[in-house]
A and B are shown apart, each in its own frame.
Chain A
Amino acid sequence: MSAAPQPTDPAWAALLPLAMIGTERHAQGLPPWPGAVGQLVAQAATGAEAPAALLRTAAVLATCGAAGAQGRPWPHPQPDSALADTLPTWPDGPELLTAAWALHEGPVRLQHALLSALSQGQRRLAPALLPQALDLGRRSLALRPGLAAVLGERGVWLAAQRAEWQFASGVSAEQPADQIWQEGSLEQRLALLRRERQADPAAARERLAASLTDLPARERAACTAVLTEGLSLDDGPMLDQLRADRSGEVRQAACALLLRLPQAAHPKRAMARLAALLSRERVLLRQRWVLAAPEAEGSDWKADNLDPVRPKNDTLGERAWWLYQLVRQVPLPWWQEQMSLSPAELLQWAQGGDWAEGLVRGWRDVLLAAPDTAWCEAFLDHWPAQLPNEHPTTLQALLPTAARERHWMRQLRDGSVPLHTTVVQVLAASPAGNPLSAELSAALADQLLARAQARQLADEHVLRNTLPELSAALDNAALERLAHWPRHADESPGWADTLHTLTRVIAVRRALQTIQNQQPSPSP
């Protein structure tokens, strides 16, 4: 940070030409100064040779200047201060350092847990932690919604002071809805829209429709995605309108939502296109389903968001690409209804045909846009060879919590997958902010503690790296069991460091439990 250049003090301005050129070459002597300082200068310089007189004058001016310095006049109006907050703050005292550690170095899940516990406990973040928390929000989009809920008036005011924190400026979360919609940050507006969709989907739709022309593309796309809440056929016309948006991101978000509305006009057209390509064929004594790829692109494709131009380096051929385009617009239940096959049977059928890659990729895209438990399970149980570079955790994340955890419980029981792989899957597929179930937490804690007890963790680098994050995801009972992690004299410095972090995570989570269990007292 550089200081603003300071204008030369007028008391010195007269002396500087002499000082810069030197008394040898400057014909004129010292200028007079007014007042008491002038008298002192004159007295000091009397009888001295020119260089000494200059230096003595400088000494007098320096001393008088230092004695009389009182800063500079401030002509600007005082900036507005933060509005008063009503919610009490957390943390205070020694817990401030613990929370600062969590925000600075703690696992991401712990940061989510901290913000969520504060919000649930009706607290706001202590002012001293606001800069750190806003910096965290600047780097992490995922943390912003949680952060917005605990900033309070002080945090919103502070965010408005710095360009990098504008994402959190706007209005306090306690302001009226219209004001939040007009002046709030994007995160605040999305949260408002989500709440309104839950309570009155039509009103929220109208609010968004009225503002669409004013919103930039990124915000239109984010708001469109919120329509998932309370989605119904009534949203069809608006989604059709958004399919024609000038932003690709918005068009994609609208098409993804239409996949959840099989009765809407757009998916119906898509289903009709595919129905024309699907037929039954007799082979020996039985019939089988046969899928053909389109022979040519349709004239209405572009209007229906189908992209007929195959990217140069894509592994699909042109017809397969066209088929892929058609498949990714058809809701998955259509296939089951049309062919009377289960998702697992459909995957198996696809493998036997000519267009397996286009089909599998299309289904995968639809699955990601409109998750379906049976299809996820089928993909996870029979992972298609056409998706060699994709990670199953993406689909595990789409499963409902119970189904997801059943999957991992099975892995933990039968030992078919290494423990560290299961832990990585659990962390990748479980959203931050939702603790794992008591059953899965206990099973993970059992295995971890058993291995620690048997000293089998020395070379488990993945487990070592993921333990802090996992400890932030476990339920409270399992977490307390990890507090009694067996320590050994010969453990490596790396493990000791990790276990030290574990004790800090446990300390933070214990503090968070306290605020969740306490009723807040009014703000001082």
Chain B
Amino acid sequence: MSLTMEAVLALAPDDASAKAARGLTSAGKWPLLGANESAAWGECQGSGSKPYQTQVDLAGPAFRCSCPSRKFPCKHGLALLMIRAQEPQHFKEQEVPGWVAEWLASRTEKAQKKEERLAEKAAAPADPEAAARREAQRWQRIEGAGLELQRWLADQAAQGLGALNHELLQTWHTMAARMVDAQAPGLAFRLREAAAGVQRGADWPERTLQRLGLLQLACEALQRRASLPADVQADLRSTVGWPHDKAEVLASGERVQDRWTVLGVVSEERDDKLTERRVWLHGTTSGRRAWLLDHAFGGKGFEQAWPSGSSVDAALSFFPGSQPLRALCAETPTALAEPLWPSDALAAEWDRVASRVAANPWGGLHPLVVADAVPVQQQGQWWAVAQSRALTLELSDSDGWVLLAVSGGQACTLMGEWDGHRLRPLTAWHGPTATPLWQRSAA
């Protein structure tokens, strides 16, 4: 793993941690510094009599420190990597001390155990009958909630959206809470999203009606769930917010081995310090697109890095569904030399979107690769113009100007997340094997 200061700073949970870490970059503060190809470790003199033992597994990177900080990684872990990036000559020790060896061994052991547990769980559910009973009960609750929501939707349609005011919108939130109680958080999310969009933007009536219409469709689908094909049932389950078990997906999901190119990555801060990361992949041989979704809490980093434009050999297990995008990485990917970007025509890209929407109308984001796109800024709005049509871009000004600068007003290939209305560009490139021309900055 090659480290740069910027890569280390990107791991910092906040600016204060990065600043505090910079204050510890004097090798003099570290009576012991050591490293080998897989780990770096050091002892940092803190305020107490005993130095803190800090260690980093470079494969993740994963951190561990004996300091009491709740930040993760703590300033000691960051400082250790900063010194490693800037002054590697200070890492003289190569022999792994006991406390480091012990931690590394426990990590390997844990990973093995996790895999074993998953395998066991997938192979033999604890009590299949009880599990089936629980599942049936949950479906019953959700279907009941769907029926209630359907009646409520009919009331809204009868009364009209024009009468909506703040008080009436409160009832939307109450209904959303009932959906959560009935273990259908996906329906609650969609309802809250619809409430948030009321009287926002010139086209709000149309957008609200679209959202309510799709909720109606979900409710009606729930009523005849049993008669639906298995894939549609799986889509419906995702829509109501009942996640598929990852162990099951890994064990029995559709597995696709391919050379995957990372089209784009986006990390977003959610509520409660939760960071969501979406990684969009393209399979060179299969032509499949895939979506890896990870969450990290409280500033913790993600175990596996997926840099945009990198290419890996990996097996992905797809979640069930009609035309599934979401997948899990079934084994540690092998990094390959350079990206192999897709070169599909825009019409083919739109066909993919149409086909996915037709199969699953509740699907959210679509990876869209827009070939020959010219970024344009007009009256404060960013656009991607291709084939005499324009897509509205969701782009900050700072990102937009850099995109315009690197494109020079010439056409490039733009990859982004399409939500049906706007494209959130993540990556831009020229040519089939070039490194990315531009990447969206972290939010």
Interface of B is mostly: helix
Q: Say if the beta carbon of B398 comes within 8 Å of chain A.
A: yes
- CB of A59 within 8 A of CB of B397, answer no
Given A16, A54, A76, A78, which contacts B205 in the complex, CB threshold below 8 Å? A16
| Residue of chain B at shortest CB distance from A503 | B86
Q: Say if the beta carbon of A349 comes within 8 Å of chain B.
A: no
Given B206, B220, B410, which contacts A12 in the complex, CB threshold below 8 Å? B206
Q: Say if the beta carbon of B98 comes within 8 Å of chain A.
A: no
Which A residues touch B432, using CB under 8 A?
Answer: none
Give the number of residues in B that approach A within 8 Å (Cβ atoms): 81
Give the number of residues in A that approach B within 8 Å (Cβ atoms): 75
Q: Say if the beta carbon of A131 comes within 8 Å of chain B.
A: yes
- CB of A19 within 8 A of CB of B216, answer no
**Residues B372-431 near A (CB distance < 8 A):** 374, 376-383, 385, 388-392, 395-398, 401-402, 404-406, 408-410, 420-422
**Residues A52-96 near B (CB distance < 8 A):** 52, 54-63, 65-74, 76, 78-82, 94
C-alpha spacing A82/B420, complex, angstroms: 32
Smallest beta-carbon distance B113→chain A, Å:
38
Given B155, B388, B408, B420, which contacts A73 in the complex, CB threshold below 8 Å? B388
- CB of B154 within 8 A of CB of A49, answer yes
- CB of A131 within 8 A of CB of B163, answer no
C-alpha spacing A131/B82, complex, angstroms: 28
Which B residues touch A101, using CB under 8 A?
Answer: 6
| Residue of chain A at shortest CB distance from B75 | A493
- CB of B361 within 8 A of CB of A19, answer no
- CB of A22 within 8 A of CB of B19, answer no
- CB of A497 within 8 A of CB of B212, answer no
C-alpha spacing A51/B156, complex, angstroms: 8
Q: Say if the beta carbon of A158 comes within 8 Å of chain B.
A: yes
| Residue of chain A at shortest CB distance from B350 | A70
- CB of A55 within 8 A of CB of B396, answer no
Which B residues touch A487, using CB under 8 A?
Answer: 26-29
- Knowing A1-B381, A12-B206, A497-B22, the reply to whether A154 touches B201 (Cβ < 8 A) is no
C-alpha spacing A2/B395, complex, angstroms: 11
Given B29, B217, B405, B420, which contacts A131 in the complex, CB threshold below 8 Å? B405
Which B residues touch A346, using CB under 8 A?
Answer: none
C-alpha spacing A494/B160, complex, angstroms: 62
- CB of A20 within 8 A of CB of B350, answer no
- CB of B405 within 8 A of CB of A158, answer yes
Which A residues touch B28, using CB under 8 A?
Answer: 487-489, 491
C-alpha spacing A68/B418, complex, angstroms: 13
**Residues A472-524 near B (CB distance < 8 A):** 487-489, 491-494, 496-497, 499-500, 503-504
Given A24, A25, A61, A130, which contacts B213 in the complex, CB threshold below 8 Å? A61
Q: Say if the beta carbon of B45 comes within 8 Å of chain A.
A: yes
- CB of A24 within 8 A of CB of B389, answer no
- Knowing A61-B210, A74-B390, A97-B6, the reply to whether A500 touches B22 (Cβ < 8 A) is yes
- CB of B361 within 8 A of CB of A66, answer yes
Which B residues touch A24, using CB under 8 A?
Answer: 158-160
Which A residues touch B209, using CB under 8 A?
Answer: 12, 15-16, 19, 58, 62
C-alpha spacing A155/B19, complex, angstroms: 33
- CB of A23 within 8 A of CB of B408, answer no
Given A2, A54, A488, A494, which contacts B157 in the complex, CB threshold below 8 Å? A54
Which A residues touch B390, using CB under 8 A?
Answer: 71-74
Smallest beta-carbon distance B191→chain A, Å:
13
- Knowing A19-B157, A97-B4, the reply to whether A3 touches B381 (Cβ < 8 A) is yes
Which B residues touch A58, using CB under 8 A?
Answer: 209-210, 212-214, 216
- CB of B381 within 8 A of CB of A157, answer no
Which A residues touch B395, using CB under 8 A?
Answer: 1
Residue with the greatest number of chain A CB neighbours at <10 A, chosen from B158, B202, B438: B158
Q: Say if the beta carbon of A284 comes within 8 Å of chain B.
A: no
- CB of A81 within 8 A of CB of B86, answer no
| Residue of chain B at shortest CB distance from A131 | B401
- CB of A59 within 8 A of CB of B361, answer yes
C-alpha spacing A68/B351, complex, angstroms: 9
Given B357, B378, B405, which contacts A67 in the complex, CB threshold below 8 Å? B357
Given A57, A59, A489, which contacts B214 in the complex, CB threshold below 8 Å? A59
Which B residues touch A16, using CB under 8 A?
Answer: 205-206, 209
Mark B68-108 against chain A: 1 for CB-CB distance below 8 A, else 0.
Answer: 00000000000000100011000000000000000000000
- CB of B216 within 8 A of CB of A6, answer no
Binding site for A on B (CB under 8 A): 4-6, 19-20, 22-29, 31, 45, 82, 86-87, 150, 153-163, 201-203, 205-206, 209-214, 216-217, 220, 350, 353-354, 357-358, 361, 374, 376-383, 385, 388-392, 395-398, 401-402, 404-406, 408-410, 420-422, 438
Q: Can you offer 5 A-B residue contacts whose CB atoms are under 8 A? A: A21-B160, A57-B213, A69-B421, A493-B20, A504-B5
Apart from A4-B381, A6-B202, A52-B157, 13 more pairs, CB < 8 Å: A22-B162, A52-B150, A61-B213, A62-B209, A66-B353, A69-B420, A70-B350, A76-B378, A78-B374, A82-B410, A494-B23, A496-B23, A503-B87
Binding site for B on A (CB under 8 A): 1-6, 8-9, 12, 15-16, 19-26, 49-52, 54-63, 65-74, 76, 78-82, 94, 97, 101, 127-128, 130-131, 154-155, 157-158, 161-162, 487-489, 491-494, 496-497, 499-500, 503-504
